[in-house]
Amino acid sequence: MSDTATPADTTLRTGPGRLLVAVYSVFTLAATARGSYQLATRFDEAPLAYGLSVAAGLIYLVAAVCLARAGRTSRTVALVSCGVELVGVLTVGALSVFVPGLLPDDTVWSRFGSGYGFVPLVLPVLGLWWILRVHRADHR
Amino acid sequence: MVDWLTMTIQMASLAMAGWCLVSTFRDRPMTVPHLVGMGVLWLLVIGQAVVSAVAMIGGDRPAETVMFVSYLATVVLLPPACAVWGFMERSKWGPAVIAFACLVLPVLLVRLEQLWNPVV
């Protein structure tokens, strides 16, 4: 690799990390705002679906904050939250496709995030890739 | 919401996104002209927000007012927040942040128009 940057220069919040933090922040807002609005106005219709959206939003928030803080502990937490996110979007996505009756209303992760241009599916993969890349550069 | 203003913002936003994507692929950081572009875009958005606020005070409110106002606040805050965040990055990823913001903005405006004028 032609990377000349020293390990100390490579932190989570610079380079591609800068874009990831921006995308995570926007999705934090989108998911929590959507979920809490639905919980507040139509709790009876699909509490599980709306709760899932809020949960997704909180995980996005953790990822955004930890990527931006860029410390060692933050890196681990960000890694875990991206992992949870990936499992979440795959599980909820698959359930929404194969067991349509389970969640009466859509969540951020339904149909693998098709309502949001599939960004919820791509985002954790990019997040994991970036965190592991920084981690490896740090250990060289 | 003024229709032509929405259209103008969407076009300007997409143009801005295109410009920033070119900068990203040419490996250029964000420059002052990018920042000025974002400033112009922000002024257009503020204009739309003011017009909508005046209409709402005058009694012309969308059915889901709370939702509309929260979307409007997001639309107003998104350009400056991303401009600052992108300008702090002195690499090609700065314009990439702006490009992302400028691609999200037209979508948010579509949502705002739907809330303002629900087609049933």
What are the tens digits of pLDDT across the range A75-89?
999 999 999 999 999
Nearest one of A110, A134, A107, A109 to A10, comparing CA atoms = A134
What per-residue confidence (pLDDT) applies to A140? Answer: 75
Q: Give me the phi and psi of B77, to 5 degrees please.
A: -85, -25
B chain contacts of residue A19, beta-carbon cutoff 8 Å: 93, 96-97, 100
Contacts of B107 (CB under 8 A, 6+ apart): none
Contacts of B114 (CB under 8 A, 6+ apart): none
The answer, yes or no, to whether residue A9 has pLDDT greater than 60, is no
Cβ(A10)–Cβ(A134) below 8 Å: yes
Tokens of B110: 């579509």
Using CB atoms, which residue from A18, A26, A37 is nearest to B93? Answer: A18
Q: What is the mean pLDDT of residues B84-109?
A: 96
Nearest one of B69, B32, B35, B76 to B53, comparing CA atoms = B69
Measured in whole angstroms, the distance separating CA B74 from the mean position of its chain's CA atoms is: 9
Which stretch of A35-39, A83-87, B13-17 has the lowest confidence by average pLDDT?
A: A35-39
Nearest Cα of chain A lies from the Cα of B97 at a distance, in angstroms, of 5
Cβ(A62)–Cβ(A76) below 8 Å: no
Nearest one of A1, A42, A9, A44 to A134, comparing CA atoms = A9
Q: What is the mean pLDDT of residues B73-102?
A: 96
What per-residue confidence (pLDDT) applies to A104? Answer: 83
The answer, yes or no, to whether residue A63 has pLDDT greater than 50, is yes
A chain contacts of residue B100, beta-carbon cutoff 8 Å: 19, 22-23, 26
Domain ranges of chain B: 3-116
What per-residue confidence (pLDDT) applies to B13? Answer: 98
Distance separating alpha carbons of residues B117 and B120, to the nearest angstrom:
9
Give the pLDDT band of residue B120 (cuts 50, 70, 90): low
B chain contacts of residue A15, beta-carbon cutoff 8 Å: 89, 91, 93
Q: Does B114 touch chain A (CB under 8 A)?
A: no
Nearest Cα of chain A lies from the Cα of B100 at a distance, in angstroms, of 8
What are the pLDDT digits (tens) for B19-35? 999 999 999 999 999 99
A chain contacts of residue B67, beta-carbon cutoff 8 Å: 37
Q: What is the mean pLDDT of residues A134-139?
A: 87
In chain B, the percentage of residues whose pLDDT exceeds 90 is 92
What per-residue confidence (pLDDT) applies to A10? Answer: 59
Q: Do B93 and A29 touch (CB under 8 A)?
A: no
The answer, yes or no, to whether residue B17 has pLDDT greater than 50, is yes
What are the pLDDT digits (tens) for B44-63? 999 999 999 999 999 989 98
ipTM of model over 0.90: yes
